[in-house]
Amino acid sequence: MSLESIVTSYGVPALFVGCFLEGESVAITGGALVHRHTLKFIPVLLAISSGAWLADTAFFLLGRRFRSHPFVQRRLEGGRVAGLMARAGQHPDRLAAMFRFIPGMRILMPLALSHTAISYRRYAVITAVSAALWALFYILVGHVVGAALQQIAGHLHHLRVIVWGGALIAAVSLILGLRHLMKSGGGKP
């Protein structure tokens, strides 16, 4: 089975899982695959936005369910997070709409928002719209990256470069993000 047929068969589900786990680099890879006409725009948009939205929703619901758990409490302590918590309490709708566009906030902000008065239904609707706009933006960025690769590398504009490059960047981003999450929390282990 060729890489092209694997990506054609499993690319959209892989983008869904990738955007649930990581985010931006997977979405950009999806945009580059759309530019290359390997995957279609609408399924990629739906996979990327729903994967992102599901992650946002999962962290919010986990924050609500485990709000008194020491792991969640450590993440929400400290000087930087205290200001974030104050803003989340004052403007939960605005922050629910914006956090996906702020690097490093995809886990912390849903946890913070889960401690506010915003209802799950309201949060879910706002973040669904935000995730769709975020997905559209990063697919367009990926399209530009794909076009740039084609201009710069010409004949090297292969599917292999896009897929493995995107996977490598996503893996590194995920590892660094997990390390940061485990180290954060007011300096406590």
Domain range for 142:
3-183
Other C-beta atoms lying within 10 Å of the C-beta of residue 62 = 17
Q: Report yes or no on 84 lying in a domain.
A: yes
Q: How many domains does the chain have?
A: 1
Q: Report yes or no on 188 lying in a domain.
A: no
Each residue's pLDDT expressed in tens, for the chain with a length of 189 residues? 655 666 677 889 999 998 998 888 889 989 988 988 889 999 999 999 999 999 999 999 998 988 777 777 776 676 566 677 677 678 889 889 998 998 778 888 898 888 888 999 999 999 999 999 999 999 999 888 888 777 776 655 566 666 667 677 767 777 776 676 666 554 443
Q: Report yes or no on 68 lying in a domain.
A: yes
Which of 113, 183, 158, 138 is closest to 26 using CA atoms?
Answer: 138
Q: Which residue has the tokens 């849903």?
A: 110
Q: Report yes or no on 189 lying in a domain.
A: no
Name the pTM for this structure.
Answer: 0.77
User: Looking at the chain, how many residues does it have?
Assistant: 189
Residue by residue, DSSP assigns 37-62 as TSS-HHHHHHHHHHHHHHHHHHHHHH
Q: Report yes or no on 167 lying in a domain.
A: yes
pLDDT of residue 81: 66
pLDDT of residue 67: 77
pLDDT of residue 9: 77
